[in-house]
Amino acid sequence: MEDDSVQSSNKWLEDLSNGLGHQLEAIALEGLKIVKAHKGFILCNFVVSNRISDAVGNWHVGAMATLIDDVGAAAIYSYGGIIKASVDFNISFLSTAKIQEEVELEANVVGDKGRITSVVIEVRRKSNGELVALGKQWMASNNNSNRASKL
């Protein structure tokens, strides 16, 4: 099961980075390279393209958020093999990256309470390791159908 979940999450990210899937995600993930992946962990390299820049040549924060969201979701899927939905997602933007700058994304599952799982995603400049952004995401599953909702 673990290998299947890791392979499935990697394939999903690779498909998005190769233009398959939703147009916005395909553009935001274009060129993403998975360096290392195992249960609950994904390390990727990414070069910021001019297609995802703002008016002054910085990596557009919306495109950065899309990439952080997808890499975090893939790490969570690789951990448990269950599709989950975001219930809390925040990003601290600490710096920016320019067109053609290479960054590294590292997603680590840091908490799992069964139906809810947490992941932290760090985006760092490849050249010097400076933190560009820090994403924190909680995702929940409605997969446990024998429990009544508290809502």
Determine, yes or no, domain membership for 145.
no
Q: 26 in helix, strand or coil?
A: helix
Contact criterion met (CB below 8 Å) for 40 and 109: yes
Distance CA 93, CA 74 (A): 21
Determine, yes or no, domain membership for 146.
no
CATH number of the domain bearing residue 19:
3.10.129.10
State residue 147's pLDDT score: 44
pTM above 0.75, yes or no: yes
pLDDT above 90 for 23: no
pLDDT above 90 for 130: yes
pLDDT above 60 for 2: no
- CB-CB neighbours of 134 under 10 Å: 16
Which residues constitute the domain of residue 43? 2-140
Determine, yes or no, domain membership for 30.
yes
- CB-CB neighbours of 131 under 10 Å: 12
Distance CA 49, CA 57 (A): 10
pLDDT confidence band for 150 (50 / 70 / 90): very low
Amino acid identity of residue 77, one-letter, is Y
pLDDT above 90 for 82: no
Per DSSP bridges, beta strands 41-47 and 33-38 are antiparallel
Per DSSP bridges, beta strands 41-47 and 102-112 are antiparallel
**Axis crossing angle, helix 61-80 with helix 2-17, rounded to the nearest 10:** 160
Determine, yes or no, domain membership for 147.
no
Q: 113 in helix, strand or coil?
A: coil
Mean pLDDT for the chain? Answer: 87
